[in-house]
Structure formats: structure tokens, C-alpha cells
Structure 1
């Protein structure tokens, strides 16, 4: 037993000693390195600000954009992919573009912006060329131009409405007025265009021309050619003034006919026309006086000159032609006025002849015997027949007359004839009333005698 115990202690001592020796001879193992951290940060994507582009048509437009990029903290610059991409077709309205970038670790970065395709183009407004009108009326003049104004839009199905200031049909003052026309499409885009309306009062222009002619002096025959052109220009204005004046008077008369009871009568129109012709004759005489004064100065210069150059002779020939031009213009003007009066009278004649023909047919070819109508109705028709016949005859007499002033007073003559007929008609009606009254008195006296006779018989 002792032996076993001693052996066990010996073994334990040897084992401890061996462990110490081994620990001193075998090196300790090195520690394992720590693992590197993984890439978890996505790339940063940069995109442009939201923007708007003009549509090419009602469906949309092809859009090109730039300013898209991406960077990664580890991989550096990365090329992003956008949907839809630059150069693609973008539909009309708002489109969202999403741009994506993925790094080598699979991290995804995104950013977005909007591209709005809209109607940005204003309508095209079409206006007429600058309008220049000539008038003899000193008051404002009504000008219409609505048929010459329009607007078109590249996207709207229906053309926009054009609004002009001043509007067509407005009264324009003498001088130059700017007209601004505006059209707005469905997207609110505003298009504008403008033109001018210039109204020249021919009477004012002519007076200014006459004053300028009065200041001319042929100090040297070399400036005669320039002065000749000014005299010709003034002569044209004078002729144009007369023609436009007749036209304006006729337009004014036609417009007044729409006023009913307050309409201007033909007699008043003829009076206005006569007064206008007198004014024209005065202006023409002023022009001729200025011309003759200038002509006399030219003659005096010719006397003082020792000889005339070829240019002088040519200028004098042109100057002498003005005299013939004045006379010819006056003749044309009178022919125009007389033609206008003839046309007016002829129209009046046709109207009255047509009324008379219809009335004659009614009386002569009525479907019903005249005894079907009352005596007063038949008398009224016959009286109207006489009036129309007298009017027609008066018009024919005046139109066949060679006296132009008598033609211009035609309506006054017709009015006098009608007044005479009315007076005769009143006399006839008065005579009828007296006759009817006498018959009524006789009837009453007859009744009284009958009553007396009956009373006698009863007695």
C-alpha cells in the first residue's frame, strides 16, 4: 500500500515538471486579425432642377437634358441611368425622371426631377397693313377692319379670339391712332400685333397746301420744277376732296335713313350737296388765284432774264400744263357731280314708276270689282295714282333739263307739286263734307215735312 502511494506521488511530480518544461519550449499562437468593415453607403446622385420645355405638338416633345451625375465614397464617379432618358419622347404635361446609380457593393442611389412639356408659344396675331383714310367730315370717322384681323395657334384646335383696342367699328379721330390686337390661347399665352389708322381730313390738308403754295416765290427759274410738282399735288388733293365729299355726303344720308322719323330728307341732302359745291368752287378759285400770282412772277422773271436755258424752257412747259390740268380737273369734277345727281334722280324715278305701275294694275286688273271696295278707298287709290303720276312727270322734266342747278333742286320741285296736290285734295274733301252736310240737312227737312203730313192725315 505504501508502495502504491509513493508511486502515485512520483508520477504527479514528474507530470508537473514536464508541463513546465513544455510551456517554456512551445511558443504561444498569434491572435487572428479583425475583419474589415463592409461598403453600405449608396452613391450620391445629382440631377438638375425641375424645368419646362415647349411642346412641339399636342402630344409632347423630345427632350434633351444634362447635369446628371453620381459619386461614391469608395468607387468614385459612377454613370447613372435615367428613366426616361435624355433624348427620349416626353408626353405633354408633367413627366418624372428617376436617375439611379449602383456601386460595386450593390448599394443603390436615386434622385428625381420633373420635366413639364407645356404650350409656351403665344398665338400669332395677323393684322392689316397701316390704314390711311381720307375724309371731308370733321367729326370722328367709323372704321371697320374685323375681316382683316385673325389669330392662329400651333396647339389649340380652335383659333383664339382676337380683341383689338380700339375695336373695329369704333369712331376714330382725325390723325393717327394705334390699334393693338391681342389673342390669348388656352394655355394663357398672349400674342399681340399692332397697326395704325390714320385719318386725313382733306379740307385741313388742302388749306395747309394752299398756305404753302402762297409762300412760294420763283426767285430763280431753277426751282420751278419743284414748285410745279407742289402745284400738281395740291390740284390732286382738291380733286380728291370734291370726290370724297360727295361720297361722304351720300354715306351720311344713307345712314340717316336708318333713323326713321329723324332721317334726313332728299331735299336736305341736295341742299348740303349744293353748299359743298359752293365751298369747292371757292377753294378752286383760291387755288387758281395763287397759281396766277405765281405765274405772273414767273413771267416777270422771264422778262428780266436775258435768255432761257433748256432746263428753264422745260420747266415752263410743265408749268403751263398745270393751267390745262386745272381746267380739265374742274370739268371732270362737274361731270362727276352731275352724274351723281342723275343717278340719284333716276333711282327716285324708278321707285315712283314701280309704285305707279302696281297701283294701275290694282285698279285696272283687280280680281274683285271695284264696287266691292268703299268709295273712300277707291278715292284714296285714285288720289295716290294722281300723286305718283305727277311725281314721275316732274322727275322726267327735271332729268331732261340741261340746267344742272335745276337738277340739284329736283326734290324741291317735286315737294312743291306734292304740296299742291295735297291742297287740292283738302279742297275736294272739304267740298265733299259740305255736300254731305247739305244732303244731310235736306234729308232732315224732308223728314220734318213727312211728319207734318202724317199729323194732318191723323187729324
Structure 2
């Protein structure tokens, strides 16, 4: 750009400078809303979503993509999907959403009452069982774990359950029983003390599944 000025004697002076117009604004993306799905295998579930779109104030409509393709298999638990778009000036816009895959289950089965009212004889074995249901019903090799926490010294359970003669399970991994279609963990209470305990069943999907039992 050139600027000039003339004085009263008619002398003309001028100078120039450069103006550079830069695009520093990243594209704006529209992405899918967060969604949930039910696991159909131990690997998770195939989940589809609406592809992202992106517009830019200078470049107009630009291509957008995500780091996990629609229709691909998402693992158990929450997965963050990040989508990006780049304009002609190299500005990159990002947006994300979450896909959460959980296993459908029956809740705990007998002899443990789901309402926390079960009372077991201290030293006995507590058969802890559940089934996968719905779209998850066919999964027979899910990695399911049992965790135990004492939450009170008093026994709050009121329903005295029968004594099991099943052998105790070692470790904390449920086994799958193909005959009943159930996941089973035989919890030994021989090394425990009386009181109320919280059992947490972890199916690897981040969902909180707990039930209380009492020992006396």
C-alpha cells in the first residue's frame, strides 16, 4: 500500500508498506452426540454414528474425519472419539464425543439377594452368580472380576441363606458355566470376620455394579 502527501509548494512525498491478510481461524465442526451401546462380544460392539461436517469462514466447507471410524468395533467402557478438520491455511479444528459400551446383565442371582438382605454363615462359601442378557447374552468369555470390601462390623442382612458345599474360587476372576449360562465365583469367607461386605462385580465396562452381603 502506498501513501502520499503534498506540501504547499507542490512537493510530493510518498511511502509504502505491506498489509498481509492471514486466516488464523480454525474450521468449526459439527459432530455426533455422545452415545451408548450394548456389548455383543467380549471385544465390545460395532457402533455407527453420523459423520462429522466442518465449515470455515474463508475456505468454506472442508473435509472432516475422526480417529475411530463409524461402524468400527468399540471396546467395553467409554471411548473418546476425536474429530478434526483442516482449512487451506493449515488451521485445525477439533471436536470430540464419547461412545460408551456396556455389558447387559441380570444383576446378581440367587443365593445372593440383589437388595442386600442376604445373611451367610461366617466361614461358608458364597456362590456369587450373574448372567449376561440381551445383546450380550452370547458372550461366554468376558473377563469379569469380583472385589470385596468390608463396610460395617454389624450384619445388616436379614435373610439367612443356605450353606453352599461348592469349592471356593481362588483369585478374583469369575468362571463361565456353559451348562447354566452363568458366570460364577464361589467366595470363601473363612478368612473374613463378621459384618457387612460390599461385593463389586467388574465387567470391564466402567459400570458400577455392587451388592451387599452380611456374614455372621
TM-score by length of 2: 0.49
Q: Which has the higher contact order (CA 8 A, sep 6+)?
A: 2
TM-score by length of 1: 0.25
Select the structure that is richer in strand. Answer: 2
Structure having the higher Rg: 1
Select the structure that is richer in helix. Answer: 1
